[in-house]
Structure 1
Amino acid sequence: MARNKNLPAAKAEAIARIIAGEPYADIAKHLGIGISTLHSWRAKPEFQRAVNDGLSQVHQNTVIQITALNEAAIAALKKILDMPIEGESITPANAIKAAATVLHYGTQLRNENDRERFASMEDRLAEAEELKAPLYAINGSRARLY
């Protein structure tokens, strides 16, 4: 296989394509690299971090969009509750189902976002504890850390 000469750009494109959900074999073929190279990149912490950051951003954007739809769903529910049923092109039952679906997914995404935030905080706390360990070893005590 021909070796891709522009690896930093290729890695950035690989990250974008992974975030978009493209299969690894397709990404490797498009970039002109072996799939084993792509797996090797994926195993590196900085590459993993970039992919995870990108996925997190996609998730946050989705939460924002769904949250905006929640407001529209509530407005639609209010309108349906206030309107006479006769003469409308959409049935109230269908409008309520659509609004309820949006509200359900909005709540589900917010819950996922909270879980991700808590996991991120736990990761940062673990990293901080790892950084403190050498200081504890020098000090000889966990009771005092200067």
Structure 2
Amino acid sequence: MLTIDYTEFHDTNQLKDWEKDLIEQAKAALAGSYSPYSHFRVGAAVLLDNGVIITGSNQENGAYPSGLCAERVALFYAGAQYPNVPIKALAVVASNEKGITVSPVSPCGACRQVMLEYQMISNKPYTIYMVGAGKIIKIDDVKQLLPFSFTNVSEMDQE
């Protein structure tokens, strides 16, 4: 049996100030979305252990699937600019023509794999906030999002 541990919030009053700030930065990142095809904007914010927040937004391309998700934009930038700084938390939010989606959106499988890779690099779990207009889902370990994850082939048991 698979169990996923998470906490659900229906407003930000129960969150700490840094959590609220991270979520607001993810919302602000929506403005940078280039999504002329789907009209589905996604913003992400990554908080590093050194206090720096890196944001990203989804970037579509007419030569699908050449675009990139907001989570990976932010994570790759953080990894390139701060290669040895662990991640503390990541927030992701989406919107459409009506505004921020009522239900939180979950990172796609490719983003989950990248998120897990960065967690494995630092050997330290980090928190994910999936933000919707009606609720926020908080998960304290990326492994909760990808329980049967791919790991480094060189580390797999060889027969």
**Normalising to structure 2: TM-score of the pair?**
0.24
**Normalising to structure 1: TM-score of the pair?**
0.25
Please state which structure has a larger fraction of its residues in helix.
1
Please state which structure has a larger fraction of its residues in strand.
2
Structure number, greater radius of gyration: 1
